[in-house]
Structure 1
Amino acid sequence: MKQFIIVVLLVLQASFLFAQQEKKFIKKGNELYQQQNYKDAESSYRLSVGKKDKTVEGNFNLGDALYKQKKYAEAGAQFNKIASSSNNKEVLAKAYHNLGNSLLDSKKLEESIAAYKKSLLNNPQDDETRYNLAYAQKKLQQQKQQDKKNKDDKNKDKNKNDKDKKNQDDKNKDKDKKDQDKDKKNQDDKNKDQDKKDQQNGEQPQPNNVSKEDAERMLEALNNDEKQTQDKLKNKKLKGAKVNITKDW
């Protein structure tokens, strides 16, 4: 019995000492927090909660120190842990309020709205939470409107680019056709100039692109054929003619 009493006393004494240390670290953390030394305040609060996350105050203050350092993800996780481990409406309201703030600063508007609503379920009279909820809802509406505008502008730009591309293609086609017509005209003019020069030099333009030399050879061949034909006809005429023979009396 005496041993049991001694053990109980030792446990109570140890708990008292731990509680004293806890309060000491929380107090030191609060002093650092007031000095805006949030990093050291965070370290002190972590010592106050220890491995067992004992006090609600220490956990809340740790979350606040993380939030002040803009460690929004860590702060949100801390407040979410507090809310998950408590049934006290006051604690739940404050934890969800702070969770909503962390999510809001992380640009997670829909999640922050859900957190503020949970906070108001536990404390409907909290005007600050109600204001933050309205602010988050307005920001979400603006974001959706901006997203819609960006989408519409993107579609307009796409349509404009498609139209510009079509116009450019049409211009290119017109330019190609004009270039082709111009090249053809230049070639025709060049051919005319060449024909004119040939005529001035006593040369006749040859059809079907026959060269001067080829034309002369063809003409010579025709002349030779014609001469041979005339010679044949002459010989034939001489052979078939009637000959008068004079008899000697």
Structure 2
Amino acid sequence: MMIIRKYIIALLLLIPVIASAQTDRDYIRQGNKAYKAKQYPESEVRYRKALSINHENPQALYNLGCALMMQNKMSEAVKFFQKAASTEKNKFRKSKSYHNIGVICQGSKMYPDAIKAYSESLRNNPSDNETRYNLVLCKKLQKDNKQNDKNKQQNQSDKNKDKGNKDKQEKQKDKHQKQDKPQQNQPQMSKDNAEQLLNAAMQQERETQERLNRSRQQQQTRRLEKNW
């Protein structure tokens, strides 16, 4: 009789523990309530608690990605959306995960990744017109980006050519200026050498004048002789 009573007490003690235990669905509901109230950090806590009980719960994974997204934790949100997409069996909900990945990549101008995510979303839900619109828009933006990059490269190439031509013209100009300038590096004439050259020139000038004078005198003498 005493043994039976002990078992009953033990069972009665376990009842409050079992009653207080919450399931992953309970935490998801609490997280959804906080999310609707725009209490995103609190909803994140609840969804993480749900995943601590069942780490492959696709609803908890997707909702946690949304909560992170609303807090601008984009890279982490993508990680949970990818996990949700890989574990989700329902194609409609799977498409939502890929759609959100596309939105994040598009916002970061990662157009190839956004296009890939939107395309995957449409494979699971071909009737999603919003995803289709975003896919077309991303393709256009990617094309525009490539054209802009091409134009920038062409402009840079033209600038480099112009700069090269300008540098070439400057070098030619410097070369002509150097040729026109007197050679400053030539040894300068000393004062003594200058005086010697000057004296020599003066001496040459005197000799020339003397020759001219002698020539005139001879001519005059000849004229006198002829007149006589």
Q: TM-score, normalised by structure 1?
A: 0.64
What's the counterpart of residue 67 of structure 1?
A: 69
What's the counterpart of residue 57 of structure 2?
A: 55
Please tell me the root mean square deviation across aligned C-alpha atoms, in Å: 3.4
Q: 1:119 aligns with which of 114, 118, 121?
A: 121
Residue 130 of structure 1: how far off its partner (Å)? 0.8
Q: Deviation string for 1:84-119 (max 9, x for gaps)?
A: 123321122111111212222233211110111111
Structure of greater relative contact order (alpha carbons < 8 Å, 6+ residues apart)? 2
Aligned CA distance change for structure 1 residues 194 and 160 (closer, same or farther; 3 Å):
farther
SS where residue 18 of structure 1 aligns?
A: coil
State yes or no: 1:18 paired with 2:18. no
State yes or no: 1:41 paired with 2:48. no
What's the counterpart of residue 241 of structure 1?
A: none
SS where residue 143 of structure 2 aligns?
A: helix
Q: 1:77 aligns with which of 76, 79, 93?
A: 79
Q: Deviation string for 1:52-93 (max 9, x for gaps)?
A: 325332221100111122222211111111111233211221
Matched residue count: 188
Q: 2:143 aligns with which of 141, 144, 154?
A: 141
Q: TM-score, normalised by structure 2?
A: 0.69
C-alpha distance in 1 between matches for 2:70 and 2:168: 55
Unaligned runs of 5+ in 1: 1-9, 206-249
Residue 32 of structure 1: how far off its partner (Å)? 3.3
What's the counterpart of residue 106 of structure 1?
A: 108
C-alpha distance in 2 between matches for 1:175 and 1:192: 30
Residue 16 of structure 1: how far off its partner (Å)? 10
Unaligned runs of 5+ in 2: 1-13, 206-228
**Matching of residues 191-230 of structure 1 within 5 Å:** 197-198=198-199
Residue 49 of structure 1: how far off its partner (Å)? 2.1
SS where residue 77 of structure 1 aligns?
A: helix
C-alpha distance in 2 between matches for 1:144 and 1:138: 10
The structure that has the greater radius of gyration is 1
What's the counterpart of residue 88 of structure 2?
A: 86
